[in-house]
Structure 1
Amino acid sequence: MNILKKVILIDDDQINNFVCESIIKNERFAEEVQSFEWAENALDYLKNTAVQQPEAFPDLIFLDINMPGMDGWSFIEEYKQIPEEVTKNCCLFMLSSAVDRKDIISAKSLKEVKDFFSKPLSPEILSFIKEEFICS
């Protein structure tokens, strides 16, 4: 049984997105997974969903930090503008290959970010999320 309805991946690495989608589907973690290689496109999608179909807003977002154009930090600043009544049931996680301790501390200090995970996504990370953030 799938745990979530919809998960969004925001990462400029197409191969990483494919791997993440496969893991999420194989673990039956979500009914639907949608990937965006550009944070701007993901943000447009989320803003439109918030206005047109707030009930279809994703349950969970995995966000990379280092991307061309809009990076993860800029994305979060814009994400904060989406009404909280829409985003309150969405868990936002940083999923990044960045290992800079400052990035990890900064991510965890933001109320919008539930946690920070290092790539690659794994069944263990999904299990941890399920136990700590979804079924708690």
Structure 2
Amino acid sequence: MNLLKRVVLIDDDEVNNFVCESIIRNESFAEEVISFQGAEEALNFLKTTATPSGDAFPDLIFLDINMPGMDGWNFIEEYGKLPKDALQKCNLFMLSSAVDRKDIQCARSHKEVKEFFSKPLSPEILDFIREEFIIPENRPPFHS
């Protein structure tokens, strides 16, 4: 059974998107994976899906930092302007080949970004997300 309904990948590397899609599907992590090679195109999609029902808005986004045109930092700035109720339903993760400590710290300093991961996406990263960000929300409170 798939854990999430919809995951969005935002990365200008078509091969990386293909690999990520395969891993997400093989791990039964999401019913649907939508890839964008440009942040502007992805942002336009998110704007159209940020409706009151929020049914089409993704549950999770993997975002690269370095892309032509609108980069990951510009995307985050515009993403933060979307309706808050839509943003609350979505977990945004940076998935980048950037290894500069400043980039990692900057990513983690944005309230919209849940975590920074280095490429490539792996089943272990999905397991970490499952355990730390998704399943805990569905667990009943612990009573002693």
**TM-score, normalising length: structure 2:** 0.92
1:7-60 residue CA offsets vs partner (Å, 9 max, x unmatched): 000000000000000000000000000000000000000001113862221000
Aligned AA (1:4): L
Unaligned runs of 5+ in 1: none
What is residue 38 of structure 2 aligned with on the other side?
Answer: 38
What is residue 76 of structure 1 aligned with on the other side?
Answer: 76
1:125 Cα offset (Å): 0.2
What is residue 85 of structure 1 aligned with on the other side?
Answer: 85
What is residue 3 of structure 1 aligned with on the other side?
Answer: 3
Question: Aligned to 2:50, what secondary structure does the other structure show?
Answer: helix
Alpha carbons of 1:40 and 1:53: their partners in 2 closer, same or farther (altered >3 Å)?
farther
Could you list the runs of 4 or more consecutive aligned residues of structure 1 that deviate by over 4 angstroms after TM superposition? none
Q: Distance in 2 between matches of 1:13 and 1:116?
A: 18
Q: Distance in 2 between matches of 1:54 and 1:131?
A: 24
What is residue 55 of structure 2 aligned with on the other side?
Answer: 55
What is residue 106 of structure 1 aligned with on the other side?
Answer: 106
What is residue 118 of structure 1 aligned with on the other side?
Answer: 118
Counterpart mapping for 1:7-26 below 5 A: 7-26=7-26
Which of structures 1 and 2 has the bigger CA Rg?
2
Q: Distance in 2 between matches of 1:28 and 1:55?
A: 20
Unaligned runs of 5+ in 2: 137-144
Q: Distance in 1 between matches of 2:46 and 2:89?
A: 13
Question: Aligned to 1:129, what secondary structure does the other structure show?
Answer: helix
Q: Distance in 2 between matches of 1:53 and 1:22?
A: 29
Aligned AA (1:55): D
Q: Distance in 2 between matches of 1:63 and 1:80?
A: 14
Percent identity over the alignment is: 71
Q: Distance in 2 between matches of 1:119 and 1:105?
A: 16
Comparing 62-71 and 43-52, the one that deviates more? 43-52
**TM-score, normalising length: structure 1:** 0.98
